Structure 1
Amino acid sequence: MTTSLPPFRPIADLLREHAAARPQHTALVQGARRLSWGDMDRLADRVAAALQRDGVQPTQTVAISGANSIDYAVVFLGAVRAGVAVAPLPTGATPEQLAGMVADSGARLLLADATVPPLAIACPRIALDGSPGHRALHEWLAAEGSRPQPVAVQPEWPFNIIYSSGTTGTPKGIVQPHAMRWAHVARAEAGRYGTDSVALLATSLCSNTTLVSFFPALSRGGTVVLTEGRFDAGAYLALAARERATHTMLVPVQYQRLMAHPDFDRTDLSSFVMKFCTSAPFSAALKADILRRWPGGLLEYYGMTEGGGTCTLAAHDFPHKLHTVGKPAEGHDIRLIDEDGREVPRGETGEVVGRSPSMMTAYHGQPAKTREAEWYDPEGRRFIRTGDVGRFDEDGFLVLMDRRKDMVISGGFNIYPSDLEAVLRGHPGVADVAVVGVPSPEWGESPVAFVVPAADAPAPEALRAWANERLGKTQRLAGLRFLDELPRSDIGKVLKRQLRERWVAGA
């Protein structure tokens, strides 16, 4: 494995250089507000100086929560400049979860907008949007023209603590060091970012999905455009055309809605250079549709917020490999292991584990959980376990089977929900689908399906019968229910745990 990277540089230093070189160039856009690189640099200085004034030390933490905004982004950048770690908290969490994450992160300060309800927390709260009841951001900032004391950021220092979406239980704080963010930025050539890039971001800044595009775009001196409010396909298309977007990061469900929108084919998207996707299963049919109808390249990332190993699929270069998630990225070592932790031969199925310069330090304050997430090869090198099951094809492309935790074991047979979902998606009456395993007194577990029906969908039992005719004997669905929509996290992942609980409760 080649692990060489350019010598480490703090991202805050790169941003300072771009601001000095092109202070009038646009850095951040949201709605009618446009912030130049010079103004962004000065605001980040005021944030960093305010943190230092309040005694927040390098490697300590501040928390941010709320809808995407320019002020949210600037506070994040200012904290990084001060060497302070940021805990960007998920917007879909309950008040109790948010308060727990603030406490778990050790945050010295919470900066939040009006979308965040009152929380029982010990640290002060600043209102990002000036909402009443808390000190406003503009009052908290250091005076105009303030400059922070220089901080010599170290690679091992925590850059951010990202909390998992809670799809599998209580959210865990994933500590990503500055070295990990530097690795994302230093190896961004495949993304084709440059000083004239315009990256349109429509996912939350609390998510690593967003940050793996946000920081490379800014670190190359480009412009970041943030959407407003909940994702709206029509508004996104209009904004992309108006801003002449060159790059975007979206999750599969957003691509699906965009490609189905009546305005898609009449929107001018010719400015696009590259599109990115990550965070959830991305069907080959959807990738093919995007390649056919949306200008520019399409790059899929497969990996985890915890880091470890990443695969990349340049779909525009490998249109015959759209059923895969690509090959290991440069400097990434990805292997497959069996239930006993032994590496499996090429062509066999196993759990995906990975190692690279992009690896979390740990789960914050949870050494036992951290150990569970690690695998060591015979030479003692540390890998991160993904929990995904896959195999490498004859050309070295990784084919994912399913999440290990989502695999259904029915009567001793392994059933991969993604196989069943693919069959159901072949019916024109299925708009969206998720298959989960539920307890069965006869088989241990049985697969059931939750379907969002299209306009011409048959009755649930008729659809189940149609699917079972096309499935193997051990794969057949024990039940099927219709839903108006599938429960999803902030970045579009189906919350299968909620679906299992819903089935068991009879809801």
Structure 2
Amino acid sequence: MSQSHHPWTAFYDPSMRTKIETAQYRTIGDMVSAVSHLYKDQPAFTACLPNGMNGTLSFAQVDEMSDGLAVYLRETAGLKQGDRVAVQMPNGLSFPVVAFAILKAGCVIVNVNPLYTAEEMAHQFADSDPQALIVVDIFADKLTQALKGHPIPNVIVTQVAEFFPAMPRGIVRLVQKHWDRTLASITLPHIRLPDAIAAGHQESKRNDIAVEGYRGALSPDDIACLQYTGGTTGVAKGAMLTHANLMMNMEQTMEMISGVEKGREVALTALPLYHIFAFTVNLLGFYYLGARNILIPNPRPLSNLKRAFENYPITWMSGVNTLFNGLSNEVWFQDSPPKSLKFASAGGMALQSAVAERWQDVTGKPVLEGYGLTESSPVITFNPLGKTRANSIGIPLPSTELRCVDETGNEVPQGEAGELTARGPQIMRGYWNKPNETAKTMWDGWLLTGDIGIMDKDGYFSIVDRKKDMVLVSGFNVYPNEIEDCLARHPGIMEAAVIGVPDGASGEAVKAFVVLHNATLSPEAIRAYCKKHLTAYKVPKTVEIRDDLPKSNVGKILRKDLRQLDAAMRDAS
């Protein structure tokens, strides 16, 4: 069936393209340079700290700085086209400069969660083999341990208030150093980000080097990003996303967002830019539109967002269910909701209908839900503005096909549940160095999502269940295998199993069931152990100590039985 005959196309806006043949720009670097020239003197990014300090870069400044860093990476650091560069930083002015520089240089960005433990960092570094690491200084205390088994030849260090005016930057540094005591001493050889940019500019002038040469050697099908995900098996894998994948998905998504005005929008980015939804939609999409992007380094507590809403006319924001739920319950937000807001978009986890209704009541504007995966760059579906349906993930983007299939891969009748499979220009090339894992997830151009869904008579889709055991904590994927492996390394634990349980604050929470070697080990001690080895959102919120765990006849621990047991206990309480 051709896409024009899919039922959901009837709900496309008449003014939008129903099919996008090719992206407007060949590569992300081409887009950045062209858009920067178009909006050169307008503010592109403003980093807004909770203490009121802020800094802003124009489109021209972002372009000029990223050019300098691109030359540094290629000429001074000696990186080649296709080399990986790990980036580990929260939202801030450094992020777009660094990301665009890597992509202009023809290198591959590897987004790394800055909250990762040294063990988690080491695993991702070993798999992606980066030739450079760009890291924020407040997290650099883990570098020595993380790089012990896999040294990275080039380390560039930035700071939270990088590119702020001198006075607020100095104040922030003093507070970090003497009050918060968050600045770690860095013993590894490194260079500061502004110095690397300056060195790149000097090299460019000295040898008449043009960044356009790096971009010109690239193909749209070259890899732009390795975005790590646990996929359907729980094994950490890097999804290979090409320039074409990301550019097409950006244009597909922007096509669905009616009512935006180029050069006039103000977007609030509270989601971390290292998360694929924020990377594609907030970073790339709103740069493409010439929007001003208000970057929030840390949205917790939610009062950290207060000054951003007070000081800037926010017209659009993205978030997860927990963010919208939390803001709707903040007194300061209820008393003064953003008057300039046009709409908000939700991704990363299911949007609860009660939260969507409350958000509409408080702001007077809708929150639109979409659906996607890291492997699809990430957006597959979106609820069209004015045609939103409750409890639905919306309709497929232009040039995207979505179907529900049975266990044999055959499409099920409309209205029946089946595994969602997607095909389109945003689907990844495959997993980095894991052809067997790629073969399990992709078939004949179709991506097997692992999620069970239903298409209604009009072509709107909804998720009814997740096939995989993944736990979704505040929009972040948590994989039981990883936590179970961590627990199994504790000398006092004999067996462990992990499931997700409903949680009002984060959507789901991690719960661990353990059988002990050491009967004196307490749940609190187990959680404390996990905090040393896992990022905070992966740490079990509750630990239940048991005499045994349910198993199959071959000895496999049955997580589904534990889920049923936990549900029964909650129903009885």
Question: What is the aligned counterpart of 2:348 among 279, 288, 291?
Answer: 279
Give the C-alpha shift of residue 274 in structure 1.
2.9
**TM-superposed deviation, 1:501:** 7.7
Matches within 5 A, 1:329-368: 329-368=397-436
Q: Distance in 2 between matches of 1:395 and 1:196?
A: 34
SS at match of 2:354: helix
Q: Give the secondary structure class of the aligned counterpart of 1:306.
A: helix
Q: 2:83 — aligned with what?
A: 60
Give the 3 Å change call, closer, same or farther, for CA 265–98 of structure 1 in structure 2.
same
Return 108-117 or 18-27, whichever deviates more: 18-27
In the aligned structure 1, how far is the partner of 2:304 from the partner of 2:115? Answer: 22
Listed one character per residue, the Cα deviations across residues 6-35 of structure 1 (whole Å, up to 9, x for unaligned) are 454322222222332332211111132111
The answer to which of 105-114 and 237-246 deviates more is: 237-246
* Correspondences of 1:318-337 after superposition (within 5 Å): 318-319=387-388, 321-337=389-405
User: In structure 2, which of residues 61, 71, 75 is the aligned counterpart of residue 49 of structure 1?
Assistant: 71
Give the corresponding residue for 2:463.
400
Using structure 2 for the length normalisation, give the TM-score. Answer: 0.69
What displacement does 1:354 show?
Answer: 0.3
Name the residue aligned to 2:116: 93
Question: Taking structure 1 as the reference length, what is the TM-score of the superposition?
Answer: 0.77
Deviations 1:215-260 (Å, cap 9, x if unpaired)?
A: 0100122211111334332231331231111121111111111111
Letter in 2 for 1:39: Q
Q: Give the aligned partner of residue 300 of structure 1.
A: 369
Match of 1:190 among 241, 256, 280: 256
Q: Distance in 1 between matches of 2:338 and 2:393?
A: 25
Q: Is the 8 A contact 2:37 2:60 kept in 1?
A: yes
**In the alignment, which residue of structure 1 is the partner of 2:305?**
236
CA contact (8 A) 1:15 1:221 kept: no
Indicate the SS of the match to 2:44: strand
Match 1:139 to one of 166, 171, 195: 195
Kindly indicate whether the alpha-carbon contact (under 8 Å) linking 1:303 and 1:310 is maintained by their aligned counterparts in 2.
Answer: yes
- Greater displacement, 276-285 / 51-60: 51-60
2:23 and 2:397 map into 1 onto residues whose CA distance is 16
1:250 is aligned to 2:319? yes
The residue that corresponds to 1:311 in the other structure is 381
1:162 and 1:6 mapped to 2: Cα distance? 21
> Alpha carbons of 1:349 and 1:500: their partners in 2 closer, same or farther (altered >3 Å)?
farther
Q: What is the aligned-residue RMSD (CA, Å)? A: 3.4
Stretch deviating more after TM superposition (21-30 or 327-336): 21-30
CA shift digits 1:345-402 (9 cap, x unpaired): 11111110100110111111111111111133xxxxx110111111112222112111
Matched residues in 2 for 1:371 and 1:270: separation? 49
Letter in 2 for 1:386: T
Cα shift at 1:165: 6.2
Pairing partner for 2:450 from 361, 371, 387? 387
Which residue does the alignment assign to 1:410? Answer: none
Name the amino acid aligned to 2:286: A
With over 3 angstroms needed to count, the CA separation of the structure-2 counterparts of 1:214 and 1:449, relative to structure 1, is closer
Contact in 2 for aligned 1:202/1:231 (Cα 8 Å)? no
Question: 1:158 and 2:223 equivalent?
Answer: yes
1:179 aligns with 2:244: yes
* Greater CA drift, 231-240 or 105-114: 231-240
Deviation at 1:204, TM superposition (A): 1.4
Q: Give the conservation status (yes or no) of the 8 Å contact 1:353–1:375.
A: no
Amino acid at match of 1:139: D
Question: Bigger relative contact order, structure 1 or 2, given CA contacts below 8 A and separation 6+?
Answer: 2
Structure 1 counterpart SS, 2:109 = strand
SS in 2 for 1:115: helix
Amino acid at match of 1:169: G
Query: Distance between the aligned counterparts of 2:293 and 2:379, measured in 1?
Result: 27
Contact (CA 8 Å) 1:313, 1:327: kept in 2 or not?
A: yes
Q: Distance in 2 between matches of 1:504 and 1:215?
A: 48
Q: 1:26 aligns with which of 38, 43, 48?
A: 43
2:62, 2:96 within 8 Å by CA — same for their partners in 1?
A: no
Partner of 2:156: 126
What's the offset of the Cα at 1:80? 1.0
1:304–1:261 distance in 2 versus 1, CA, 3 Å: same
What pairs with 1:367-386 in structure 2 (closer than 5 Å)?
A: 367-376=435-444, 382-386=445-449
Whether the 8 Å contact between 2:322 and 2:505 is mirrored in structure 1 is: no
SS of residue matched to 2:338: coil
The alpha-carbon distance between structure 1 residues 494 and 229, as it changes in their structure 2 partners (threshold 3 A), is closer
Instruction: Count matched residues.
Output: 432
User: Residues of 2 paired with 1:24 and 1:87: CA distance?
Assistant: 30
Return the structure number with greater helix share: 2
1:389-435 residue CA offsets vs partner (Å, 9 max, x unmatched)? 1111222211211111249xxxxxxxxx99xxxxxxxxxxxxxxx9x
